[in-house]
């Protein structure tokens, strides 16, 4: 053992360039290939040392987040999503606004058609109450709603414009006030229902009064004598008419319930108008901020990228 160690220590200087004793030519070729390929693999689990640049690249890849993760940030993505939600909400309420205009137009036109038809015992009281409603004003209000909706179309198509939004917002206020006036007018009529119905009763022919008596099983207005009842199948004589009572009570109750539905619907339309006005203001503020940030980017030179 010691002898071989001493012999190995006494190897001449040029022995490194020659193959060792017992080494074949293939072993020498394998050793030269190993020198060209780099350091041999280790089996102890330790990785070969990498250059400093490679280590820095690995650290950047594994530790630092990518540029696409940092820009845009999560806050910018949230703001962008919120802006989309604002526009979508505006579109939804704008569609409801258009639907209210269609509802006003259909209600007014259908009501006018029904009033023009011959009355029956089933619809005579309803038609008389419809005749109390401002139907022509409802048609005019519906036309204003359609015109206002058309003004919102360029405000939606042009994402950076604010002029169309402002003008349409003012028109929405006018539509809301118009509808509120119609609803208030109908509501005021319910405060003096008996007085109004008495005036309507006196204007109706005997045939219409008879239909009302048949619908509500009553005779006369206040009673069978004031004003006098109309003789028909319901009120055959004075004794039967006195037992039935006047039509003012059931007719006034029917009128109040019926008109309550109408002016409540009008106030509901005003609520849709108010919601659209609020959303218009929110969208205006959002576009104003967006335009301000765009000017800031242009001044800082970011708009060129």
Cα(163)–Cα(155) distance, rounded to whole angstroms?
Answer: 8
pLDDT in tens, 173-198: 999 999 999 999 999 988 888 889 99
φ, ψ at 225 (rounded to 5°):
-115, -15
Q: Is the pLDDT of residue 118 over 80?
A: yes
pLDDT in tens, 38-56: 455 544 444 455 455 444 4
pLDDT in tens, 228-247: 889 998 899 889 988 888 99
Work out the average pLDDT over 102-107. 95
Q: Could you give the C-alpha distances from 229 to 120, 196, 209, 224, in angstroms and in order?
A: 18, 19, 8, 5
% of the chain with per-residue pLDDT over 90: 45
Q: Is the pLDDT of residue 36 over 80?
A: no
Three-state SS for 300? helix
Greater pLDDT, 61 or 290? 290
The residue written with tokens 């530790």 in the block is: 63
Contacts of 108 (CB under 8 A, 6+ apart): 135, 136, 138, 139, 142
Cα(96)–Cα(275) distance, rounded to whole angstroms?
Answer: 10
Strand partners, 225: 228
Q: What is the pTM of this model?
A: 0.66
Q: How many residues does the chain have?
A: 305
Q: Give the model's pLDDT for residue 301.
A: 65
- Per mean pLDDT, which range of 102-106, 130-134, 186-190, 301-305 is the poorest? 301-305
The torsion angle over the Cα atoms of residues 163, 91, 144 and 272, rounded to 10 degrees, is: -120
């Amino acid at each position: 053992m010691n002898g071989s160690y001493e012999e190995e220590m006494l190897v001449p200087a040029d022995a490194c360039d020659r193959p060792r004793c017992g080494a074949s030519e293939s072993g020498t070729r394998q050793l030269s290939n190993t020198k060209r390929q780099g350091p041999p693999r280790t089996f102890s689990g330790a990785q070969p040392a990498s250059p400093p640049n490679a280590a820095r690249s690995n650290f950047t890849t594994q530790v630092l987040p990518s540029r696409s993760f940092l820009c845009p940030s999560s806050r910018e993505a949230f703001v962008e999503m919120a802006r989309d939600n604002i526009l979508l909400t505006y579109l939804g309420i704008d569609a409801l606004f258009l639907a209210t205009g269609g509802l006003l137009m259909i209600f007014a036109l259908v009501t006018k058609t029904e009033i023009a038809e011959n009355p029956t015992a089933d619809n005579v009281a309803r038609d008389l109450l419809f005749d109390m409603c401002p139907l022509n004003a409802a048609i005019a209000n519906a036309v204003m709603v359609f015109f206002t909706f058309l003004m919102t179309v360029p405000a939606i198509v042009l994402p950076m414009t604010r002029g169309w939004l402002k003008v349409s917002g003012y028109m929405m206020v006018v539509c809301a006030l118009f509808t509120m006036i119609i609803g208030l007018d109908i509501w005021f009529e319910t405060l003096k229902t008996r007085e109004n119905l008495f005036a309507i009763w006196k204007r109706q022919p005997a045939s219409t009064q008879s239909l009302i008596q048949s619908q509500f099983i009553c005779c006369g207005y206040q009673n069978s004598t004031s004003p006098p009842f109309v003789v028909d199948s319901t009120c055959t004589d004075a004794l039967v008419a006195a037992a039935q009572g006047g039509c003012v009570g059931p007719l006034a109750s029917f009128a109040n319930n019926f008109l309550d539905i109408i002016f409540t619907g009008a106030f509901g339309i005003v609520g849709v108008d108010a919601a659209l006005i609020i959303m218009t203001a929110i969208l205006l503020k959002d576009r104003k901020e967006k335009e301000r940030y765009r000017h800031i980017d242009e001044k800082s030179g970011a708009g060129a990228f």
